[in-house]
Amino acid sequence: PRPARGLTDRLYCGRRVCYEVLGVSRQASKAEIARAYRQLARHGAAAACEKPGARQYHPDRYRGEPAGGEGSGAQAAHEKFLLIAAAYETLKDEETRKDYDYMLDHPEEYYRHYYHYYSRRLAPKVDVTIVILVTVCAISVFQFFSWWSSYNEAINYLASVPKYRIQATEIARQQGLLNKTKEKGKNRRSKEEIREEEEEIIKDIIKNKIDIKGGYQKPKIYDILLFQILLAPFYWCKYVVWYCWWIYCFTIKGQEYGVEEKLYIIRRYMKMSQSQFDSLEDHQKETFLERQLWIRENYEVYKQEQEEELKKKMAIDPRWKRYRRWMKNEGPGRLTFIDD
């Protein structure tokens, strides 16, 4: 091959042409390149230089010999073998060989050659799809167990509240569940075991009878990240169909809003997520409907009232008074000069 301008020490085979290093032409096949590499690796690096067939620079000849004397020869042989390996690594891959051929033909495109060379060198060896899939699965597993932990904490808290504990205990007695724990004879158990079983019965009743909403609701497998990504096309199509139905019913035909539609509009005005809105009490939602907050003007009035009420509470609250006093007298950014 003709000498190529623009060869640098930091790209591919440095200032040597990789085809010359292996002693093959640019039209050589992969089998010919592999054969040339094996022959050079077997007979020594000198086969790629000016003395074909010579073995005096083969690294095996310098094993165990002292660094002096022929040490420089061992170093040269080592460098020649690295050059042969670099040439083979460049030419054995089709994509890398294509980039290298382009560099030989277009040496003036200096920055493009640098970009392609280091982008392939620094590219991850593992498939990015596998990395993303493993990451999403790990996040989903952590998310699912975290939700279960929050749900169990909510159940344990409700089981300690007298209001819910008394109701659950009464339901358990009506169903005869507590009588089964106090068996006599051979099946008699200790007080500690009976207490633990009664506690589990009360928690199960709370789980089945009380609808926990918001961030502490019972986790569902379809809410984790993995299923959300897999079902994203379905949810998107469902939203498009719902939006078209909304436009047709309430914009074109002019139908009146139902209860669900009114609550949806109110939630959008309040900028709350579905889980946050579901965690509100039923009497709050009834108040929203009574005040017709799905009408923009009514909601603006309600919002202003809430802001005024919050200001009054902050003015009366002693903690806010102390905070305002501190901000006025000793708040951040205050400079004091103390005489020594």
Decide if 58 contacts 77 (C-beta within 8 A). Answer: yes
- Of 122, 142, 163, the domain-final residue: 122
- Of 166, 199, 219, the domain-final residue: 219
What does the pLDDT look like over 29-77, one tens digit per residue? Answer: 888 888 888 888 776 544 434 444 434 445 555 454 444 444 456 777 7
Q: Is the model's pLDDT at 81 over the cut of 70?
A: yes
Distance CA 120, CA 102 (A): 15
In a domain, 8, yes or no: no
Tell me, yes or no, whether 105 and 44 share the same domain: yes
Tell me, yes or no, whether 47 and 116 share the same domain: yes
Tell me, yes or no, whether 37 and 98 share the same domain: yes
In a domain, 246, yes or no: no
Tell me, yes or no, whether 118 and 141 share the same domain: no
In a domain, 68, yes or no: yes
In a domain, 247, yes or no: no
Mean pLDDT is highest, among 120-124, 239-243, 272-276, for 239-243
Tell me, yes or no, whether 96 and 62 share the same domain: yes
* Residue labelled with tokens 């007695």: 173
pLDDT at 55: 46
Tell me, yes or no, whether 48 and 80 share the same domain: yes
Range of the domain at 263: 256-329
Tell me, yes or no, whether 65 and 138 share the same domain: no
Tell me, yes or no, whether 113 and 206 share the same domain: no
In a domain, 113, yes or no: yes
In a domain, 10, yes or no: no
The domain tally of the chain equals 3
Entry pTM: 0.47
Question: Which CATH number fits the domain that encloses residue 108?
Answer: 1.10.287.110
Q: Is the model's pLDDT at 183 over the cut of 60?
A: no
- The contacts of residue 208 (CB under 8 Å, 6+ apart) are none
| Share of residues in the chain with pLDDT > 70 (%) | 77
What does the pLDDT look like over 135-151, one tens digit per residue? Answer: 999 999 998 898 888 88
In a domain, 12, yes or no: no
In a domain, 322, yes or no: yes
Tokens of 90: 């460049």
Q: What is the mean pLDDT of residues 265-270?
A: 92
Distance CA 192, CA 168 (A): 20
